[in-house]
Amino acid sequence: MIGPALPRREFWRLTAAGAVGALALWTVAALSGITPRQFLPAPWEVVARLAQLMVEPFVGHTLPVHLASSLQRFGSGFLLAVAVGIPLGLAMAWFPVLDRLVTPLFEAVRFVAPIAWVPFAALWFGTGIGGPVLIIFMGAFPPVLINTYRGARFVDTKYLEAAAMLGAGPLRTMTQVLLPAAVPSIVAGLRISAGLGWQSLVGAELIVASSGVGYMMVKGQAAVSTATVMSGMIAIGIVGLLIDIALRRVQQHIEERRGR
């Protein structure tokens, strides 16, 4: 059951309590000596390592440089997913033949987790840029395609009738009626896509040789530096959250413009 919404102050108080509680548990566990400190450093040790990584290169680069190269790969895979997913989704909504051709294939392939593409990507692309982009693409592609298709497929028929009456052909109907009608659904899909793509990143970077947050974490693991690994996790979490906030802004802007 969903209770009544919390007042804003109460919400922040509980959020802070949750964070403090988790940090306290972590601290107690680290200091108690249940596990060697090397495997579970205290929170402040991880923060210190994070600060150090910001300025001091580790395996060739500082954390911001690793992040930048991760973001670049993520951007390539994500944009590729958008560039293929949106037009394909629209076309599938408009041409039933294409829908029937693509859907069974897609339904089968989407259950292969992005991470399961790692060996295949490594065989195909070695350590080149293609591998990580393929894996991120595999994570980001399904939600874009599904949401574009659904948004366009279930567009109110009155808009399609109006477009037909106004003499619009298939191309104009797709770009000026189906696409804008599907935009709210597409943007919701983009948020899921970005999340899944970003999550696939570490897997993608396991097979990359020289840079990236995932690469940094793998090297941290090899050096038995738990603080480095955890710093990478924190960086991934924060950047992922920022990406989602940015896309949420876009979503709100579009909804306001539409008057919802």
Partner 1 sequence: MANIQFQGVGRIFRQGGKEFVALEGIDLEVQDREFVAIVGPSGCGKTTCMRMAAGLEHATAGQVRVGGVEVTRPGPDRAVVFQQFALFPWKTVWANIEFGLISLGIDAAERERRIRHYIELMGLGGYEQAFPHQLSGGMQQRVAIARAYVLDPKVLLMDEPFGALDAQTRVVMQEELVRLARQHPRTVLFITHAVEEAVYLADRIVVMSRRPGRIREVIDVKPVREAERWDALPRIEDVMDQPSFVHLRTHIWKLLREQQGDDAH
What is the contact surface with partner 1 in residues (CB under 8 A)? 158-159, 161-169, 172, 176-177, 180-181, 183, 257-259
Q: In terms of CB distance, is 9 or 158 closer to partner 1?
A: 158
Least Cβ distance, residue 240 to partner 1 (angstroms): 30
Least Cβ distance, residue 189 to partner 1 (angstroms): 17
Rounded to 5 degrees, φ, ψ at 207 are -105, 15
Q: In terms of CB distance, is 33 or 169 closer to partner 1?
A: 169
Residues with Cβ within 8 Å of residue 159, at least 6 apart in sequence: 177, 181
Q: In terms of CB distance, is 142 or 189 closer to partner 1?
A: 189
Residue whose token pair is 């941290």: 220
Q: In terms of CB distance, is 110 or 153 closer to partner 1?
A: 153
Measure the CA–CA gap between 24 and 27, rounded to whole angstroms: 5
- For residue 113, what is the DSSP state? -
Least Cβ distance, residue 98 to partner 1 (angstroms): 22
Residues with Cβ within 8 Å of residue 216, at least 6 apart in sequence: 53, 58, 59, 61, 63, 66, 228, 232
Q: In terms of CB distance, is 173 or 228 closer to partner 1?
A: 173
- For residue 115, what is the DSSP state? G
Q: By the 8 A CB rule, do 217 and 228 touch?
A: yes
Residue whose token pair is 């596990």: 35
Least Cβ distance, residue 201 to partner 1 (angstroms): 33
Least Cβ distance, residue 246 to partner 1 (angstroms): 22
